[in-house]
Amino acid sequence: MRVLTELLRANNDWDSAAHHYAIEHDRYFSTVHTAEVWMTRILFTSGVEGDQIRARAMPALQRGHGPDVIGLGPDSPVDETARQHLFGP
């Protein structure tokens, strides 16, 4: 709501403000969704595969490489570099 409120206050063209809000909303959703998918894979993959994923991903997460849904939310890094830190090339 903060983003939409700021856009509406800064712009008399509410259609434009709503359009910009929709773009930001989609970006937020995509980032958080990707981060949740990655964390689900890290935390809930079972067996040897899960152990291998966690052996690589947990140290990377402790160093701050990868998503932080609670702390950073939609500003979490979910680009290719972050993915490689967690899961390898």
Q: What is the pLDDT of residue 25?
A: 93
Annotated domain spans of the chain:
2-87
Per-residue model confidence (pLDDT) at position 76: 93
The whole-number pLDDT of residue 49 equals: 96
H-helix segments, the chain: 2-10, 14-44, 47-62, 80-87
Q: Answer yes or no: are the C-beta atoms of 34 and 78 closer than 8 Å.
A: yes
Mean pLDDT (10-residue bins), the chain, 89 residues: 87 89 94 96 97 96 89 92 93
Q: What is the dihedral of CA 6, 12, 16, 17, to 10 degrees?
A: 10
